Amino acid sequence: MDPMMLTPEIEGEVQQLAMVVGEVLNPATSQQRRHELYMICEDIKEKSTNCPRLGLALSQQNYPSITRHFGLQLLTHCVRFRWQNKISNDEKAGIKNRSIELIQEIKLGVMEEIYIVDSISRLLVELMKREWPQHWPDLMNRLLDLCNMGNIINTNRLANSTLMAMTGYLDWVNHSYVKGNDYELLKLLLILLANENLKIAASECLLQVTGRKSESSENYASLVEFFLCDSCLDTLCSAAKEAAEISETDLENFNYFRRLCQIITNIGSVLITLAWENCQYQPSTNLKKYLNIILALTNHPCQTVSAIAQPLWISFMSSEHIRKNDVLREIIPGVLSNIHCRLIKVNDLNSAQIPGIEYLRMEFSCNRDYYSFMSQYKSSEITIIKLATKLLPEAAFKKGIEWLDSIIYQSNEDDGTLWEAVACYLEKMIGILFVADSSTKPSIAMCNEMISVLLRCKIKDPVLLTAQLSCLNAFFPCLVFSQSTLGGMLQLIFDVASRSFEAQEKQAARNENWVAVRRKATGLLVKLSKQYPQFLLPLYDDLVTAIKPLLNRELSILRVTDYCNLIESLLLLSNIFYNFDRHCFLIHDLLTSVRTVWLSTEIRTGFSTPSAFLNYIGFDSPDTTHVQTECLKNRLKINYCLSIILTTLKAVEIPSPMTSEAATQYIHGNFEDGSPRYRLPHAESIYPLLDNIMVLTRLLNSLYDDNVQKKSQSFNLSYIDLRLCEKIQLLGIHSPPLDNEELLPIDPKLINSKSAAQNFFFRIYENCYNILGCLGKSLPDSFYERLSGIIEDFTEATFPFGERLSKEWERHIGCQYEDIIHVSEQEDQVEIDNPLNEEILKNNLLHSASKEFAEFLGMCLTCNGSNSTTGESEGKAELSKDTNNLGQLGLLMLQDKDMYFLITASLFSSLRWKSAAYCNRALDRCNLVLESVLVSQFSNEGLVQSVFSMLLMGLQIHGSNNNARQSLIHLSARLYELGRNRYPSLKNLLLKIPGNSVESIEHFDTILPTISERKKKDKIFKELVNNVIGKDISDLFKREFISTEYMLPPQQRKTKKVDSGDVLDSDSSNNILLSLFS
């Protein structure tokens, strides 16, 4: 029956429905009447069996647009919700034909409203979801015929909608539909790239095709061959060139250009997949043409465009098969030809004037976003440099030397960034050539010549001086093969440091560029001492002669970092003296100035009380604008002493490898386990300084004490609050690292600022605790004989922090929003301190503190002792390799009654904290001590019951987290299984769970001994506690609905015929076996 033919009854219903739609949309209709008419329309949608015919009738041109719009809605509703079983095949065919007719009417000149065109597009999309391609194979041909008819504005909108609908299918439909009729569909999409109105939608379709995954290598091969043909490459290339010419000021066209670039690079990704799957695959003869197109994209002035090609070059050069191709090797020099320009970082998007800057301004709204991108971009470029150097070492070295030679003789005051880019290239390239096992080594003579040219280069600008030192740093690996230039390198380093002092003294003000030059120079000296101490040791006396004058500079001129670098360089060299007395003498001599300051009466008086300490450093009043110069010097003294002590602890090591002569000086006896007992050369120099370090640590901690704060009301508490960089980190804002260097007293406005005060307290806090952390390997074993009970005192003072965290969690979660927010009126009102950010800060800080507390617990429980005194451990405790077992420290702590209860309470009570990240960490630690809860001599029924209840509470809070839920069920089941007979109260807790009964628990107790598999036990136990397991709020009222009613049938795939062979055919029993699997 023709669905367009209407019976008189249906025709009357159509007329009535048209009147209803008209009255609903009439502004004069009352609200009550409109509601009644709406209900009539909804009843027809949901209940009327004539809904398809009514929709077809109302979509005719003889009705008003608003009525036709409702008719199209009826058709769309039928397709979405009635298509499978509630619509006849004739009605389905009628709806599909009508959708094509509607498009044809538009093509023939019928002007339609925008909402009508949208409704037609939606109808076609829903039909394609359910019919194409299996039940509607001629759709594309019919649409292609329609595209050749007329040229109406509304046609573009409809065609765009159709193309956008296709993007949802082209990544999963059978590949035969894509390559059918000799890739007719793809050829059409390529033609549409020339259509101004349809090129964006067509590019989306091509992007889906090139980016799809295929199970067949044949499909990959045919796709690559199609896209690498001359006509296809020319079409894509011309479209990209046209877009690139006008995209610098047009954001939409720029995005289209980037999409074309992604299409081109996706072709290469398919080629890579083919090479991995089939090593015998030979690329197309057009590979060179394709690689030249990728090279053009790589050298595009916009870094975001060239970034699209980076993964492709990395994949090509990493592929075992493709990197051997002569065509690729021929292109690689072109990849390197402009890489130094691509490494240039723009400091300010608003003021920079370089090629491609307009692209970057469209791409990034602020400098911070650009810096984040540039970090990843530079990392990829460095990977390309390393891979290209491995493939073509001579070409890579030649490029680097050419660039260095050009900037040396053509340098000016504005090319500092270019120097840095070339330095970066040289460092990565030379590192590969000299460090890696490369058969081709560059000429050492040429390297020495370039070093000599670099050393003779006379530069006055501090920015270029820093870049010059960076280039010099790149040639350090050459020292392994020739040390003829080492003296010149050291001379340049010390000349630069001396010139920085002279320039700073002349300007009578701190110049950050000269400070950076000196920091770079002293940092290179440390690097030489670490990596090539054997070459510097013969020049040791000369180094001491050059360094001593620098160390005698005043604190107001030389920064603490520079002091530390200079001293560290000498200490690193002393590690290979192999002479204990000489080693000790140097350390004692270098720490002379520290002892003079740190052990003085002035320091002891300043550290006597919290009030005296605040007065000593000038923070005893809320307004520190006019602080005395003496107080500023006192801060520098404290920072200087702590930094030098910490540097000494980290730098000094026992000589390794130990010679027989040195062993007699550095080793005296053995420990009980047979490990050597070392004499530590810095122990006697460091030991007298510890008392004041301990006193200062107590003073810093006391600043948080309520009683001390009441007595020191003039102290600004914001000075020991979170710093700005820490707030930014907690808020998850990406930003470039802040300079935390100490501020010199030359500029009082800076040194007295809030941020400077916070940096000062942060720095001395960090130094104090890092020193305490390094002491373990730096003090003689006799020192620990005086420290009986230090571990108990420390842990007893630390573990209550878990109780404070628990209370903070309860307060933070239970309080109202207004009670949590508290912004001090004394704080500077900056954007980051608004109430909303303050709330986020408190929450993130709580999570961060919980994470650190979990790591501390894990360290205590799994830590093993170590007698090592070398620098490999950096002063950190050695962790047991098996973190599933308790370490030596954990066993000792659990043998103490007080510590046992502290650890158990801290671990299991923290499972109530609403932090899934912390819970997952804490559960690993809970697993370590679970059995000790039952077998320990300190266990009792009250403790076991509390632990079990905490586990159940954890299930209620973290039940929506899969990992936490499984771990909590596992621990709860284990605890119940092991303790149910000894502690009957565990059953009483299970009975309190809704749905549990005595019978169900007894049944579980009965079958539990019969089950050996752990997973089955956990599964059955989960049924007992299922009603207490928490769910995410989105799952509380969720109604599961899974239906295959509207799904297309699976496409038929060709199956390969398997030859059973003569062996199977010869035996009837084998034929029976084959029939079972047929």
User: pLDDT digits over 380-426, tens only?
Assistant: 999 999 999 888 888 888 888 888 888 887 655 456 788 888 888 98
Q: Which residues 6+ apart lie within 8 Å of 241 measured at CB?
A: none
**CA–CA distance, 778 with 771 (Å, rounded to integer):** 10
**Are the C-beta atoms of residues 673 and 865 closer than 8 Å to each other?**
no
- Does 800 share its domain with 884? yes
The range of the structural domain enclosing residue 287 comes to 181-391
Out of 593-597, 743-747, 790-794, pick the least confident.
743-747
What is residue 312's predicted lDDT score, i.e. its pLDDT? 92
Of 787, 809, 824, the last residue of a domain is 787
Burial of 21 (0-12, 13-18, 19+ CB in 10 A): buried
**CA–CA distance, 384 with 302 (Å, rounded to integer):** 18
**CA–CA distance, 770 with 260 (Å, rounded to integer):** 53
Helix (H, G, I), strand (E, B) or coil at 878: strand
**CA–CA distance, 468 with 479 (Å, rounded to integer):** 18
**CA–CA distance, 984 with 988 (Å, rounded to integer):** 7
Predicted confidence (pLDDT) per residue in 295-350, tens digit = 999 988 888 889 999 999 999 898 887 888 888 899 999 999 888 888 887 777 77
Phi, psi (rounded to 5 degrees) for 677 = -100, 110
**CA–CA distance, 27 with 14 (Å, rounded to integer):** 22
pLDDT at 557 over 80: no
**CA–CA distance, 72 with 117 (Å, rounded to integer):** 10
**CA–CA distance, 130 with 148 (Å, rounded to integer):** 26
**Domain-embedded: residue 792:** yes
**Domain-embedded: residue 931:** no
- When pLDDT is averaged across residues 357-371 and rounded to a whole number, the result is 81
Within 10 angstroms of residue 152's Cβ, the number of other Cβ atoms is 16
Of 481, 505, 529, the last residue of a domain is 481
- Does 242 share its domain with 384? yes
**CA–CA distance, 869 with 13 (Å, rounded to integer):** 95
Q: Which of 1018, 887, 875, 1048 is nearest to 955 (CA)?
A: 1018
* Rg of the chain (C-alpha set): 38
**Are the C-beta atoms of residues 774 and 650 closer than 8 Å to each other?**
yes
Average pLDDT of every residue of the chain:
79
**Domain-embedded: residue 175:** no
The amino acid at 974 = R
- Does 229 share its domain with 368? yes
- Does 849 share its domain with 831? yes
pLDDT at 159 over 60: yes
Helices H, strands E: what count in the chain?
55, 4
Out of 45-54, 452-461, 933-942, 1036-1045, pick the least confident.
1036-1045
- Does 434 share its domain with 504? no
Within 10 angstroms of residue 863's Cβ, the number of other Cβ atoms is 20
The amino acid at 133 = P
Instruction: Provide the CATH number for the domain around residue 39.
Output: 1.25.10
pLDDT band at 263 (very low <50, low <70, confident <90, very high): very high
Q: What are the percentages of helix, strand and coil residues in the chain, rounded to 5?
A: 70, 0, 30
pLDDT at 605 over 50: yes
**CA–CA distance, 844 with 573 (Å, rounded to integer):** 44
Burial of 83 (0-12, 13-18, 19+ CB in 10 A): buried
- Does 368 share its domain with 417? no
What is residue 248's predicted lDDT score, i.e. its pLDDT? 60
Out of 195-204, 708-717, 755-764, pick the least confident.
708-717
Structure-token pair, residue 292: 């030249």
What is residue 217's predicted lDDT score, i.e. its pLDDT? 66
**Domain-embedded: residue 341:** yes
Q: Which of 504, 506, 487 is nearest to 550 (CA)?
A: 504
Cα dihedral: 907, 908, 912, 915 (round 10) = 40
Structure-token pair, residue 946: 């509390």
Out of 74-88, 179-193, 568-582, 861-875, pick the least confident.
861-875
**Domain-embedded: residue 1067:** no
Burial of 171 (0-12, 13-18, 19+ CB in 10 A): middle
**Are the C-beta atoms of residues 697 and 772 closer than 8 Å to each other?**
yes
Predicted confidence (pLDDT) per residue in 888-898, tens digit = 878 887 888 87
Of 345, 363, 391, the last residue of a domain is 391
What's CA 1007's distance to the chain center, in Å?
A: 47
pLDDT at 84 over 80: no
The amino acid at 340 = H
- Does 323 share its domain with 455? no
**Domain-embedded: residue 935:** no
Stronger pLDDT, 539 or 149, i.e. the higher one: 539
What is residue 393's predicted lDDT score, i.e. its pLDDT? 87
- Does 472 share its domain with 381? no
What is residue 1068's predicted lDDT score, i.e. its pLDDT? 46
pLDDT at 578 over 50: yes
- Does 727 share its domain with 604? yes
**Domain-embedded: residue 1075:** no
Question: How much is the pTM?
Answer: 0.71
Which residues face 864 on adjacent strands?
Answer: 878
Helix (H, G, I), strand (E, B) or coil at 446: helix
Q: Are strands 676-678 and 667-670 parallel, antiparallel or unpaired?
A: antiparallel
- When pLDDT is averaged across residues 1026-1033 and rounded to a whole number, the result is 85
**CA–CA distance, 1034 with 1036 (Å, rounded to integer):** 6
**Domain-embedded: residue 146:** yes
- Does 161 share its domain with 19? yes
**DSSP H or E segment with residue 516:** helix 512-531
State in Å, rounded, how far the first CA of the chain is from the last one. 43
- Does 514 share its domain with 616? no
Q: How many domains does the chain have?
A: 7
Q: Which residues 6+ apart lie within 8 Å of 154 measured at CB?
A: 106, 111, 112, 114, 117
Q: Which of 546, 535, 597 is nearest to 572 (CA)?
A: 535
**CA–CA distance, 950 with 140 (Å, rounded to integer):** 63
- Does 185 share its domain with 322? yes
